[in-house]
Chain A
Amino acid sequence: QSVLTQPPSASGTPGQRVTISCSGSSSNIGSDTVNWYQQLPGTAPQLLISDNNQRPSGVPDRFSGSKSGTSASLAISGLLSEDEADYYCATWDASLNGFVFGTGSKVTVL
């Protein structure tokens, strides 16, 4: 089981704001930056947020990330139907000496 815990699901209507949490510990989120990935149905994951809050080129500014202590969050504002996807947080874990992904959260647009 993953050392990073996310809620299994989140949902909202078009235009709403949705937030996904990612809870870790001092050996992972507490000591390194957090990245977020979006996986659209049937496709490979793609990097959405790096270094806690940096958007790679091409990622809309509706997506934002934050980190505080041993937790991180991804926010999607102005929700669109195309945002329906699975979202994963990830970071390096110093105790495991490996990269760890969160349990994943499925976002549904109602």
Chain B
Amino acid sequence: GQQVMQIPQYQHVQEGEDFTTYCNSSTTLSNIQWYKQRPGGHPVFLIQLVKSGEVKKQKRLTFQFGEAKKNSSLHITATQTTDVGTYFCAGPRAGNMLTFGGGTRLMVKP
């Protein structure tokens, strides 16, 4: 079945440093979605990418969808303590059910 993998599993950064998480799918995806989960919280939708090679920005966050639509990345510029949490990518199965990656847990030292 479809598998979605993320690396790294954990990332410690100093506040102000950049951060990148990578997502790879075993199958071609119709779209890729990114979620953020704060410690003790629930996943919150960030963005959806649909087109091959698509790049979208949200302030300091840059999301990219690979040309083959099998991989994606999330880059955060100049991290802040408010960026702390786990970032998940997810790809849809048949219908709209999501297969989530294992997540990358970001920790930011002030």
Q: Do A and B bind each other?
A: no
Query: B: which residues have CB within 8 A of A?
Result: none
Q: Interface of A with B (CB < 8 Å)?
A: none
